[in-house]
Structure formats: C-alpha cells, structure tokens
Structure 1
Amino acid sequence: MFLSPIFLIGLLAVGLPVAIHFLTRQKSKVLAWGAMDFLKKSINSASSRRQRLRDRLLLLLRTLAIIFLILSFAQPLISKFFTDSQLETVLIWDISMSTLTKGQDGVPRQEQIRQAVLDQLEGLPDHSTVRVLLAGAEIRWLKDEPLALTPNNRESLARVIKTQQVDLGGDSIAKAILLALASPSENSEKKKRNLVVIHDLQEGSWQAEEKDRWSAIDKRVSDAPNISLQLVDLEEFFVHRGSQTAVVSLETNRDTIATGSKQRFRAILRNYSEDRIYDANVIWLINDREVERLDFVELHPESELNLEQFLSIEDSGSQIVECRLEVANDPLLADNSAFLAVSSTTQLPILIVDDTQRIEKGQILPSQFIVASMGGHLSRNPKDKKAPPTQSRSVFKPRVIRSKDLVKTQLDDHLAVIIANADSLPPASYKQLKDFVASGRGLWLMMSQSDGALPSWITQLLKSLDLDSLSQTTLLESPDKKKPMRLAATSTNSDYANAIAAKNLDLSRAKITKLHQLSEVNFLDNEKLLQTPDGHHVILSIPAEPGRVILQMCDLNRSSTNLPILQTFVPIMRETLRECVGHGISIKNLDPGQLLRVPNLNSLDDQIALIITRPDGSTEQLKRLSGEFQTANTFLPGRYTIRGLQDADGKELTQIFIVKRPEDESNLIALADTKAKQLISGSFYGSKNSELEEHKGKWSLAIWFAILAGLLFLVEAILAHRLAKSRLSTSGRIELKPVY
C-alpha cells in the first residue's frame, strides 16, 4: 500500500541506466597481428571477468538506487506488527428496536446484523481479545471483562450472541463509541485496538448533529495511533414499503385509581408512511385481556391521531393497560403497542379534621377544597347543615370530623390524617397522633391560622412529634392584598414538581397573602414541595420514621377564583397522600433513566431488601438512602417488577412499573452509508482527511527507501571512480586479430 502511488510512474526510469550502459559502450577496431598467440598467454582471463563483473555491479547499483528513490517518493506503508495476544477487538453491536424491522423477505434486520457480528467473531485470530458492546436502549457490555479467544471461549460467546434479545428503545451510537474508547483493557496502550461498528444505519441513533461527540471521537482516535475505527458494510438499509405506524404514547391523569371506577386514557397514533390507512384496528387491553376494540380506524399520511377511551378496572392491585394498533404490512411491529402501569385499589381511608363554621363569599370549606384535590367533591345536606358533608367516589375515601371527635375516632382505620382547620385539640389526641405517625402513616398539618403566632395546640403537637424546633414561626403577610406572594416550583428531582411541570402549570399566577415562616429547619431529609421565589417554605415534607409529617404553612387562599392554586395543589395533594398511604413506588410510569423512588416503608428493618426485575430478566437490589430505596438504572423500556414491598398491614406486595419507549426508534429514516462512513472517519465535519485516516496505524517505509537510495548512489560513485582509474586512458579501444 502506498500513500502517494502516483510516483510509481517513475519506475519507468529504471530502464535509463541500462540503456545508457549499452548505448555508451565503445566500439573496438580490429587489427591483424601475427603474435596473437603469445599475447593471449600473457593476458589474465580472470582480470577480464572481474572487469565485466564490476561493470554489471555498477549497472545494478544505479538501477536499484533509482528504484529505491522512486519508492521513497511513493511512501510505501506496512501494517504495524502486533502479535495475536496484542490484538483487542471491540464489536459495537446495534440491538435497538429499529433492527426488528422486517425486510421484503420477512426476516428482521437484526438477524443480518447478528450474523455480521458472528462473522466478525469468527474472523478474529486465536488468543486475541474481544469485547462486545450492546448499543440499545441502555449501552452496556455483553461481558464485563475482555475475553481471550480460545476455542471454548469463542464458542461460548457465539452462543450468547445468538440468544441476545433486542431492546425496545435505542441510544446514540456516538455515545456507545465514546464508551468503548473510554474503557480500555489492561495494557491497552501496548495493544492494537480495533473498534468495529455493526449498525442498521437508522438515522435517529446516529445523531449526526451532535458535533461535540463526533469531534471528541475524532480527537480520541487521532491521538491514539494503536486505535482504529471502522464500519461494517452491510446491504443497503431496508426501505420500508409498508404501512409504518406506531402508538407513540399512552397517558392518563392518575396512576392510582379506585377499583370499579372509570378512568380516561389517551393514546396518540402516528402514521409515518405517505399512504392513507383505512383499515387500522385499535385494541384496548388490561392485563393482556381485551376490553375494548375499534375497527376500521382511518390514519392520514404522515400525521397523528389522538384517541380517548374510558376503561373500568374491576380488579385491585397493579394493572397493565395496553393500547395495541393492528395494521397490515407494517415492517416494524414492536412499536404498535404502548403500555401504562396503574394501581387499582379499594378507596384509601383519609381522615380530615375541619372546624370551619363560616366562610366568606366566593370561598369553599377547607375540607371541600381537599376532597376536590383528591378527585371527588363534598356536598352538604341543605336540610341539615350541621351534618358532615358527603363525598363523591375517588381513589381516596375521606371522612370529615370536628376536632372534638378526634379522641373517640379509631385512627388505625385511616391511612392519613389531615388537620385542615382546628380550633383546638383534646389533650389525649397528641399521643394518639404521635402513635399514628409511629405506625408508619402520614399526618398533614395545615397551619392556616393567620393571626400571627401559632395556636398553642399546634406548638404542643409539634413537640409531641419531636419537631418542636419547627414551632417557632413568624407570619409573613403581603402588605397589599392586590399584590399577593407568588409560588415557585421545587427542584426537578421532586416527583411533585414533575407532576406540576407535566401539566404546564404557571405557579407564578397562584396567590397567597399570609404565610407562616419557619425560623430554622434542622432536618436534613426535609423536602420542599412548594415554596415562594425567595425560598420561603410553603409545603414541607419531613420524614418522622417510619411515618411522615407534611407541614403546610398557609391556607393557600381557597377562593374559587384562585384557580392556579387549585391546579397546583391537586398534584401535590395526590402525590403526597400516595406517599403517606401507598407504601409503594412513587411513579409507576417512568422515562428511560428516570430516578425510581420507593418512599416511606412500613418498617425500617435493615434486613428488608427490595429486588427489581428488569425487562431482560436481570435483577438488582435497590439502594437505600434516607429511608427510601432508589435506583436510576431504568434505561431499558418495558415492564419492571418490584418484590419485597409491604402494605400498611405488613402484607407483601408485588408492584409493576413501566419505562416508556422512546419515540425516535419508530422513525425508520435511513442514514446514507457514505454519511455514516464520513462520521466514522472524522471527515463529516471536515476535521480529518479520510484518505489519511485509512492509513492510520501503519508504518511508512519512505525514509528507509530514501536512505537506501542515498547509500547506493554513494557506493556507485565510489566504485565508478575506482574503475575509471584502473582503465587505460585511451580515447578508443583496439581489438587484436591473429594472423596465420
């Protein structure tokens, strides 16, 4: 291989020394001489042979010198020498959902890619090392350590490759290459590392617009002379001719619903093809059982269709709701279903303490406000205004009492107590509430009094809960009721903030006029659920192991005209109550990589272990932090199962949650093969000459050929000079002919 092969044309000049040698030979004159026999005896024939040998050697030196000089200009290259044990190959294998696309022969694209991986493995030399990096929804190594290719290891790795399943998602191929480059093996600087990308060229996974990542790859490969990066040439990516469709998303308002109640589900269907589809069928399933069916749904070309369906879930426990799309001649079936995890339960009993007697015009009772946030509503009997209000059906089952009735109420029959507004508390209720929290349940305390200092019963209750440092508060009041204080979202790590953000709520429109401000919060595990823009607490969640105490520092202005407050309060109330009473996972439907939280377990025994089973069958024990179990290892789309949970009565629960499938993998637009090679070679952004990169990792022999040419010219000059001296200095040559 030559870096400048054009100079090889100069090899035609090799004939010049030969031509000059024969053209410049002197012609001799023939003279008759009678004493020729005596002269022949006196001439040394060996001397003549040496003379001819020197002439031919001189011709050879001149010819070789010219050949080596021309080769030095052509810059020949040879591969650097590595033993088999010094060769390490990384196979970057695309197992994203798009590889399930079927070709015209009905065979999924993944089988062709899998065979290419096996072919690469088969072609590697014995005793070299190999690693396989899976580029799917989660970029991960097939084996943790490099594998030496003995016959047994090669065979066992091939078996694993043949059984590897495809992920229902996909990630950036550039991210996978960077991980491969950043994970060298032992003594990798002394090894030849060859990174081989085997991919279906689906455009979404390549993310060619990520210039920073591809530039980082270019620099890393350029700076390491022992690393090469190449793309396996497969057949042209299958251009689908069928009806490419997908269920893009499936959503619902709440993931915990009352058993037997109807819940609204929304699905988005997308037609990626340029053809109108008239005969699509939409099937709704609960736990793989068909409950509703819509036939002959029409899908317009390159457009979306929003569907809403009310479903009634009759069984309690974790449920999987599925929306399935059936379309003929769809090349990719894996994205024709979307799943949603919901929890169906009998109504959760909640106790609300409300002593409110009179309300201003345009406002509602605190208990009415709370129940509305729970998804129901309270109404009073017009004939008996003193009777407790009744509530509509929701996942929560609220019961409203007066504070004087608290002592004679069996709190163990409820999972949370909300003190919305109380004139006072009976002395015996302090220990009663303390024992209630100690049993693993939740207490929501609304500091709605706005006359300055907190009432004595609130101070006493906080002391009984060992939260007396929170009883010192000051009242913040807006000087102008027409310019009330605003609210601000909490950190993005909060489930409550995520719930608010998902509804696109504008918290700055919410209004509060009075706020109790804590002078000091010494609890490291506290969590702000809501705050003002300048950082004042509005709703604060504090673990009181094993239970939880929620402090609300104001009444949030229950005016029916203050709609933003209601919109903000709804997700906070629902999420917090689920945390207090659910004893389960915080969110049942996650995005890939989102943090999973399992808060407020009924028991804090260190022996408790929660085991999560992932879609690929692998298991993981969740890490414990501040009374919660957490994991961010949720990259694989699909169904997850958690075992080891307990309900309020100590019974073991098995809960299911879903990680959503990314939308990008449904778009089967192919990346041009030339564009992929440009990204691999580093020439796409003009950062590298692809022709030069092709010769990376090879040694150039140009300098050695130049040195040899110079040495040959030097030897030729010395030899020519010595031969010139030994010859007769005559202007011609005479050949003697004997006469008889």
Structure 2
Amino acid sequence: MSFLFGSLAWWIAGALVVSIPIIIHLLHRQRTQPVLWGAMMFLKQSVLQQKRRKKVDHWLLMLLRLAGLALLVALLAQPLWEDNEYNPLAGKASTDIGIVIDHSLSTRRLSGDRTVYDQAVATIARLTEASALQSSDTVSVVLAEKAPRVLTPLPVPRDNFAGTLDKLRKEKPGLTAASIPDAVQKAREIIGKGRNTRKTIIVLSDGQKSNWRANDLGAWNAALGQRVKGADSSIKMYELPITPVGERANLSIGEVTISPDLVGQNQPSTITATVTNTGSAEMPGVSARLIVAGTEGGRQPVSALKPGESRTLRFDHTFTDPNSQWVEVRIDAPDGLDADNAATASAYVWQTLPVLVIDGQLSSAGIDSNANEATLDKFKRSQFLGAAMLSAAPTADSPSLIKPTFVSVADGKLSGVPLDDYAMVIVNDVPQLPTSIQSKLRDYASSGHGVWFILGRNSERGLIRDQLAASNLLQLDVSDRQEAVEESAGIEVISPDHPTLRPFTKPERNVLVGMTTLKWWSVKPRNPDVKVLLATKNGDPLMFEREIDANGGRIVVWTSPVDGTTGWNNWPSMRAFSPLVNTTVYHLASGWTKGQANRRLESGQPLVWTGPTSPAIGKAEITLPDNTKEQVRPIVRDGRQIIRFKETHQPGRYELRFDQTALAPVYYGVGIDPVELQEETLSEADRKWLASEDHKFLEATITPTELASAVGGGSQGTQLWPILAGLVLGVLLFETFMTYRVMRQQTVAGMGTTASATVA
C-alpha cells in the first residue's frame, strides 16, 4: 500500500483531526443529577432506563464521526493498493502521464534517416497501440526548450492523444538550448491537475549533459519536489534515451565578422568565418557561399576536413546599398546537424559620415561643405586634416565616406550650426571658443557624440585650462611653457589596444616608430577617468581620451598640431597619418552610430537599437528566425529612443521594422548557443546521482519496448479513493440518521422531565 500524501506529518495531522469528536464528547458529556421524589419511584426507574439507551446511542454516534474523519484523512492521502495476490481489484489503476520531449537544437542531429526529435515522436506514438494505455489514463506533453513550451495545458484523455501526436509531427526541430529540469517541473504542474492518483513522467532526450543539469540539486528539487530518503515518491520519472546512431561528420560555421567596423557604401569590406568539423568522421570537400540580403555574393571551395580541423573563409564584398544589410555564410554539407551549417551577421552601411571641423583660422568664410580643393585652400590649418578624411574612399573618383564641413571659430554662423546633424566635431587649433559653443559641446558629448580637440600654436591657455573645465569636458593643468626639444621626443604607446592605435602598433609592424615630435602642449589631466593613449618618454600626454557617459560620448585630445607647422612635428607627412585620422574619426563617431554598428549577437544577448528622438516611434515589430513576430515599444532616455529585446535564443536572422516608414528595417544576426554544439552526454555517474536513494529523482532508464509498462500499461496498483469516497458518504448518511435519533430522544426526555415537574 502506498499513498500520494504519506508523510509522518500528514498522519499526525490526521490523528489530531480524528480526535476532535472525542474531545468534544468529553467536554460536553451530560452529567445527570437524579431527582428523588418520594412518591415517584416508578417514574425514576423509567428515566434511568432512557439514560442507558442514550449513552449507547452517543457512543455509537461518536464512533461514526471518528470513522468518517479517519476515512476522509485516508481518502485525501490517495492510497494505492499494489498489485499482488492479496489484491482482488488488481489491474484497475489509471495514470496521469507527463511526456517531456527534448526540443533543443541538438535533437536536430540525424540518427539514420531521421532526426533525434522525429525518433522521439515516433517512440511516443507507441502509446496509441492497443493496451498501452487504459481508458482513464491521461497524457500531457511539454517540449523542453530554453523556456518549457506546453503543448497540452490540461491532461488529454487517451482517446484524444492522437491529435496531440499530429501536433508533435508538425513541429519543426528545435533551435535553442533546453532545460530538462524546468520542463519536468512544468509537466509535474500539469499532471497535478489530473484526476488519477498515479503520476508518471517520461523524459525523451538525446541525453546531452548540459541540458540535464545533473548534480544540480536545487534545480531537481524544484522540478520534482524535495525527496525524503526511503519515502515512496508520489511522482515517478523515467528516462528514455534517444541517441544518434553511427559516426557522422559535422561542419559548423563559427562567428561571422565584417570589417571594417564602420562599413561605407561602395567601399570594400571583408567577411570572414571559421568552419570546423565537430563530428567524428572526415568530411569530404564542400562549397561555401556568401549570401547578402538574399542574393549570393560569392562562392568558394572548402577542402576535406578531418575531425577537429578548421579553416577560415574570407569573402571580399562591396555593399552597394545603404542602411542595415544582413549577410550569411553557408556551407552545403550533408552532415549530422543542419542548424550550424550557416551563420548570420549584419552591418550598417553608411552613405556618408558627416563631420564638423571648427577651424582656428579667424575669418568669415562661411560654412563650407563642398570638401574640395578650394575649401582646403580657405582653411589652411585644416588642409592636412581634410585631405586625410577625403582619402577615405576606395578610388580617387569615388566619394569619401567621411564628409567634412568646415567653419571658422570666428564666423558668426557657427552658433546656428545644429551639432546633432554631425557624427562628431573637430575643434582644430582654435584660440578660444565662443561661450555659446562651450555649453553646446558639453550637451553634444553627453548625448553620445564625440569631440576631438587638436591643440596647436594658436591655442591659448584660457581654452585649455579654463574653458574646457567650465564646460565640464576636461580639467587640465597647463605648463607655463610649451615644451620644445632639438631632437624628437621619445614616444611611448600607453594603450596599444585602443581602437585608434590598434591597427598601427602591432609588434611586427609598428608604423608609429617614425613619429617626430619636437613641440607640444605640456598638460596634466586631473580627471581620474582620463585614458592616456600616447605619451612622451617624460610622461607628457600626446593623445588622451575621456569618456563622458554611457551613451558613447567621449573627448579625444591631441597636444600637438596637424597643420604641418615647422618645428612641431612631422605627423602629417607620415604614411600612417590619414589612416590614423580616419580611425580616430570612426572611433569618435561610434557613439553617434551606436545602435547602427555591426550586429552579431551571442545567444541570449539582448538586441538593442538606439536612434534619435525624431521621428518618434510608436511601436516596432521583430521577426524571429522561425518567422514568429513580437511587438516592442521604445523608451526615451538621454535624448535617444531605445528598443531592447531579450528573447534572442534562436540562432539566425532577426529583423526589426518600425511603424515609421521613413526608417529602414534593421537586421541582427544571433549565433548558436555554444552548449548545444557540445556532444557530451549523461554518464553513468550522472545517472547514478539522479537515481540515488538520497533523492531518487530518476526511477529508471528504459527502452522504447518498456514504455508501456513504465506508464502503467501493466497496472502496478489499484486506486482506493473511489471506494473510500463511497464509505465516507455511507458513514455521513448513517451519522445523519443517528444524530436525528439522538435529538429526538432528547426531545422526548425533555418533555418527560417537564411532565414530572408539573406533577410534583
């Protein structure tokens, strides 16, 4: 005999409940005081006879109440009488069955000519065979994914299970990781709604260790309830492994990268990806394809790969269309797992990158955005700077990605320039800044933009020491003199991994070695968050940076000019000057382009889009790789619209569309969860822990042929609650009759006592 609620605490509580009638009887028993009347001897004998009958009825009534409560406690404990030779009702028990099917990405692996998932569904179909289920059995199905997906919110009767099987067959293979304990917990909740006493959970899985979370006691206690050693569990769980058969090769595409970080329209870019054979057999030569926005953009062969070998694929491509573009690298390989044969990334393709140059030349030449030779002649201090930015073009005839606009610091039109129209601002060798521009630059940097200060012969100490501090951009101590040396100062690279210096400071090819620096502004930053990039040997910073806030706003300062002035430096004549200028521009523009950068996310990494507050977005729609759609709404913070979406567990392409048609759609690529590519399965030690008598989470590991007996097709006991319910009902009826009888006797006795008193 076993009970669903069979703990010691339950029976102690039941004993207390059963004792209630005894306590009430003892507290309210009648204490009859005989009344001696001299001439009423015969009446006295009659009253005593009635008292004896009442005492018998009272004891019988109390026993009925005790029996009723005891039967009710046993009924709620839901007893099960095991099948044996002493059980005349053997073979009548019914079961609520919870089916957990592993629907993770790893179950897409082929086993023969079918996937592991398809084999699991075919195995469950055995329950539709004759005598596999009893007529009153129920079945519930949960798919184990990143978050469990319930296929049957309520237990399904046996006769309706065929419809559930049809749903399972129509399901596409999974794309995410999975948590078996979470799915078991959900199955336990559903079968708890069933009417049968016997509960069983069957888990069909490829046994991937990461999904099972073996040895995680907290997860399994939450899944099946905390178990007591030696106590019979109310829910039994069985594992039915479905593992791939045979050795197969499997090619997997790793992370896809697009360079440069800031991609320009009609400018060359490079897409790279790594292909690895993660299988156990050699893969013959195959072909790899580059797909750009749905169109093939290149193809190359991939020679044979032995297990564990990898190769890097490189595609050169020029994006001809602007805005967000997605790319996919795919290999045509008939291997063991199709989901990792492709990887997706995206890039934002810029038509132009607008830059405002505030030049230190005192003139009223106006605002010039032509960026031609005549423009550079007008702003001579920015000639080399402008020429470097205009060199960011693939050919001499094609337009540059960077589009500079020049204006003199003394021009009255400067105060009316909308700074937010520019990706970043360069303040080049100006004596002082107008007061109105100081506050504008602070707000501009705080909203996520970049400002580049280049100090030179025209810069004044008031700008460096006072104006930068007053605008809360930088606090600098300035030496009384500008350092000047006869020989070039030794240069020390302080931050070789900084984005602006990384391409130029590789040990095997440090192109900054030839920098000649004779004169510079000797300053000492007082802000603790300043990062020095390049310095002289005596510690004077030549290039340094300060981040303004989390929006990507930052300040970069060069303490030596770029106008080619004799006696300061040779920087403009260096071959690395133009690339160095352009990487600095790209870096400072990264705050403005934030939310538009190359988008390659890890599984589960939030998808984030940011943009200006105009046009205002009411809502947006995200299309997931499985073509399901989710509605999202932006929030506005720090002058930016922000959209954030966390459910990025499916690998592949995500598309973000806005209700403002003026905004082009934005694409994101999400990689496969790395744990799903791990082929390590449950070990014997893992299964031993799950089946340990200390908690007994796993009853047994079974084969498909043992499925029917595990779910109760062989009947392992008889539910006694219907019989107990009938007995409780019978006791209640008898107790009602006896209560009526006792009350009637008390009424008659009361009348007799009244009559006696009257006679007296």
TM-score normalised according to structure 1 size = 0.57
Which sections of structure 2, spanning at least 5 residues, go unmatched?
Answer: 3-80, 363-375, 394-399, 480-488, 507-521, 534-543, 562-568, 572-577, 703-709, 720-760
- Hey, what does 1:348 align to over in structure 2? 353
Q: Note if 1:681 corresponds to 2:673.
A: no
Q: Structure 1 counterpart of 2:321, which letter?
A: D
Which of 612, 623, 645 in structure 2 is aligned with 1:631?
645
Stretch moving more, 274-283 or 151-160: 151-160
Q: Structure 2 counterpart of 1:295, which letter?
A: P
C-alpha distance after superposition, 1:84-116 (max 9, x if no partner): 7xx654432212222222233x22222111233
Which of 596, 605, 613 in structure 2 is aligned with 1:602?
613
Q: Residues 311 and 339 from structure 1, CA distance in 2 versus in 1: closer, same or farther, beyond 3 angstroms?
A: same
Which of 93, 105, 110 in structure 2 is aligned with 1:102?
110
User: What is the distance in 2 between the residues matched to 1:472 and 1:256?
Assistant: 28
User: What is the distance in 1 between the residues matched to 2:213 and 2:331?
Assistant: 28
Instruction: Please report the RMSD computed on the Cα atoms of aligned residues, expressed in angstroms.
Output: 5.8
C-alpha distance after superposition, 1:343-362 (max 9, x if no partner): 223122222435499xxxxx
User: What is the distance in 1 between the residues matched to 2:353 and 2:191?
Assistant: 55
Q: Residues 458 and 191 from structure 1, CA distance in 2 versus in 1: closer, same or farther, beyond 3 angstroms?
A: farther
Q: Residues 165 and 268 from structure 1, CA distance in 2 versus in 1: closer, same or farther, beyond 3 angstroms?
A: same
- Hey, what does 1:404 align to over in structure 2? 409
Q: Is the Cα contact below 8 Å between 2:635 and 2:643 reproduced in 1?
A: yes
Q: Is the Cα contact below 8 Å between 2:624 and 2:655 reproduced in 1?
A: yes
User: What is the distance in 2 between the residues matched to 1:124 and 1:569?
Assistant: 75
How far 1:83 moved relative to its partner? 8.9
Which of 422, 437, 441 in structure 2 is aligned with 1:415?
422
- Hey, what does 1:147 align to over in structure 2? 154
Q: Note if 1:552 corresponds to 2:555.
A: yes
User: What is the distance in 2 between the residues matched to 1:554 and 1:76?
Assistant: 92
Q: Residues 161 and 278 from structure 1, CA distance in 2 versus in 1: closer, same or farther, beyond 3 angstroms?
A: closer
- Hey, what does 1:17 align to over in structure 2? none
- Hey, what does 2:388 align to over in structure 1? 390
Q: Structure 2 counterpart of 1:630, which letter?
A: R
How far 1:340 moved relative to its partner? 1.6
User: What is the distance in 2 between the residues matched to 1:262 and 1:221?
Assistant: 63
Q: Is the Cα contact below 8 Å between 2:93 and 2:718 reproduced in 1?
A: no
- Hey, what does 1:93 align to over in structure 2? 101
User: What is the distance in 2 between the residues matched to 1:77 and 1:681?
Assistant: 29
How far 1:160 moved relative to its partner? 3.2
User: What is the distance in 1 between the residues matched to 2:644 and 2:682?
Assistant: 38
- Hey, what does 1:339 align to over in structure 2? 344
How far 1:591 moved relative to its partner? 0.8
How far 1:623 moved relative to its partner? 5.2
User: What is the distance in 2 between the residues matched to 1:619 and 1:416?
Assistant: 33
Q: Residues 551 and 441 from structure 1, CA distance in 2 versus in 1: closer, same or farther, beyond 3 angstroms?
A: closer
Q: Note if 1:577 corresponds to 2:589.
A: yes
Q: Residues 598 and 295 from structure 1, CA distance in 2 versus in 1: closer, same or farther, beyond 3 angstroms?
A: closer
SS of 2:301's equivalent in the other structure is strand
Q: Is the Cα contact below 8 Å between 2:358 and 2:427 reproduced in 1?
A: yes
Which of 207, 210, 220 in structure 2 is aligned with 1:201?
207
- Hey, what does 1:661 align to over in structure 2? 672
SS of 1:198's equivalent in the other structure is strand
SS of 2:664's equivalent in the other structure is strand
User: What is the distance in 2 between the residues matched to 1:676 and 1:334?
Assistant: 28
Q: Residues 576 and 609 from structure 1, CA distance in 2 versus in 1: closer, same or farther, beyond 3 angstroms?
A: farther
Q: Residues 162 and 416 from structure 1, CA distance in 2 versus in 1: closer, same or farther, beyond 3 angstroms?
A: same
Q: Residues 638 and 220 from structure 1, CA distance in 2 versus in 1: closer, same or farther, beyond 3 angstroms?
A: farther
The share of aligned pairs that are identical, in percent, is 17
How far 1:699 moved relative to its partner? 9.5
SS of 1:98's equivalent in the other structure is helix
- Hey, what does 1:231 align to over in structure 2? 238
User: What is the distance in 1 between the residues matched to 2:380 and 2:107?
Assistant: 68
Q: Structure 2 counterpart of 1:103, which letter?
A: S
Q: Residues 689 and 516 from structure 1, CA distance in 2 versus in 1: closer, same or farther, beyond 3 angstroms?
A: closer
User: What is the distance in 2 between the residues matched to 1:217 and 1:458?
Assistant: 60
User: What is the distance in 1 between the residues matched to 2:603 and 2:431?
Assistant: 48
Q: Note if 1:317 corresponds to 2:316.
A: no
User: What is the distance in 2 between the residues matched to 1:553 and 1:227?
Assistant: 67
User: What is the distance in 2 between the residues matched to 1:125 and 1:529?
Assistant: 75
Q: Structure 2 counterpart of 1:595, which letter?
A: P
User: What is the distance in 2 between the residues matched to 1:219 and 1:331?
Assistant: 37
Q: Note if 1:240 corresponds to 2:240.
A: no
Q: Residues 458 and 102 from structure 1, CA distance in 2 versus in 1: closer, same or farther, beyond 3 angstroms?
A: same
Q: Is the Cα contact below 8 Å between 2:109 and 2:115 reproduced in 1?
A: yes
Q: Is the Cα contact below 8 Å between 1:214 and 1:679 reproduced in 2?
A: no
Stretch moving more, 87-96 or 635-644: 87-96
- Hey, what does 1:25 align to over in structure 2? none
- Hey, what does 1:280 align to over in structure 2? 286
User: What is the distance in 1 between the residues matched to 2:251 and 2:619?
Assistant: 42
Q: Is the Cα contact below 8 Å between 2:287 and 2:299 reproduced in 1?
A: yes
Q: Is the Cα contact below 8 Å between 1:130 and 1:146 reproduced in 2?
A: no
Q: Residues 131 and 275 from structure 1, CA distance in 2 versus in 1: closer, same or farther, beyond 3 angstroms?
A: closer
- Hey, what does 2:622 align to over in structure 1? 612
User: What is the distance in 1 between the residues matched to 2:698 and 2:289?
Assistant: 51
Q: How does 1:167-182 map to 2 (within 5 A)?
A: 167-174=174-181, 176-177=183-184
Q: Is the Cα contact below 8 Å between 1:255 and 1:343 reproduced in 2?
A: no
Q: Is the Cα contact below 8 Å between 1:221 and 1:228 reproduced in 2?
A: no
Q: Structure 1 counterpart of 2:295, which letter?
A: R
User: What is the distance in 2 between the residues matched to 1:680 and 1:429?
Assistant: 69
Q: How does 1:463-482 map to 2 (within 5 A)?
A: 470=472
- Hey, what does 2:632 align to over in structure 1? 622
Q: Structure 2 counterpart of 1:399, which letter?
A: P
How far 1:234 moved relative to its partner? 5.1
How far 1:263 moved relative to its partner? 1.6
Which sections of structure 1, spanning at least 5 residues, go unmatched?
Answer: 3-70, 358-379, 463-469, 491-495, 504-511, 519-527, 544-548, 561-565, 702-740
User: What is the distance in 2 between the residues matched to 1:299 and 1:315?
Assistant: 36
Q: Residues 417 and 338 from structure 1, CA distance in 2 versus in 1: closer, same or farther, beyond 3 angstroms?
A: closer
Q: Structure 1 counterpart of 2:433, which letter?
A: L
User: What is the distance in 2 between the residues matched to 1:321 and 1:78?
Assistant: 70
How far 1:242 moved relative to its partner? 3.4
Q: Is the Cα contact below 8 Å between 1:623 and 1:631 reproduced in 2?
A: no
How far 1:539 moved relative to its partner? 0.5
SS of 2:255's equivalent in the other structure is strand
Q: Is the Cα contact below 8 Å between 1:265 and 1:308 reproduced in 2?
A: yes
Q: Is the Cα contact below 8 Å between 2:262 and 2:586 reproduced in 1?
A: no
How far 1:654 moved relative to its partner? 0.9
C-alpha distance after superposition, 1:28-68 (max 9, x if no partner): xxxxxxxxxxxxxxxxxxxxxxxxxxxxxxxxxxxxxxxxx
How far 1:656 moved relative to its partner? 1.2
How far 1:642 moved relative to its partner? 0.8
SS of 1:653's equivalent in the other structure is coil
Q: Residues 670 and 261 from structure 1, CA distance in 2 versus in 1: closer, same or farther, beyond 3 angstroms?
A: same
Q: Residues 553 and 188 from structure 1, CA distance in 2 versus in 1: closer, same or farther, beyond 3 angstroms?
A: farther
C-alpha distance after superposition, 1:525-570 (max 9, x if no partner): xxx99899xxx99302377xxxxx825386599999xxxxx99999
Q: Residues 354 and 75 from structure 1, CA distance in 2 versus in 1: closer, same or farther, beyond 3 angstroms?
A: farther
Q: Structure 2 counterpart of 1:344, which letter?
A: V
Q: Is the Cα contact below 8 Å between 1:94 and 1:198 reproduced in 2?
A: yes
Q: Is the Cα contact below 8 Å between 1:579 and 1:599 reproduced in 2?
A: no
TM-score normalised according to structure 2 size = 0.56
How far 1:483 moved relative to its partner? 14
How far 1:287 moved relative to its partner? 2.6
Q: How does 1:696-715 map to 2 (within 5 A)?
A: none
- Hey, what does 1:134 align to over in structure 2? 143
Q: Is the Cα contact below 8 Å between 1:416 and 1:442 reproduced in 2?
A: yes
Q: Residues 594 and 341 from structure 1, CA distance in 2 versus in 1: closer, same or farther, beyond 3 angstroms?
A: same
Q: Is the Cα contact below 8 Å between 1:579 and 1:586 reproduced in 2?
A: no
Q: Structure 2 counterpart of 1:230, which letter?
A: M
- Hey, what does 2:258 align to over in structure 1? 252
- Hey, what does 1:18 align to over in structure 2? none
- Hey, what does 1:162 align to over in structure 2? 169
User: What is the distance in 2 between the residues matched to 1:114 and 1:568?
Assistant: 60
Q: Residues 269 and 551 from structure 1, CA distance in 2 versus in 1: closer, same or farther, beyond 3 angstroms?
A: closer
- Hey, what does 1:716 align to over in structure 2? none
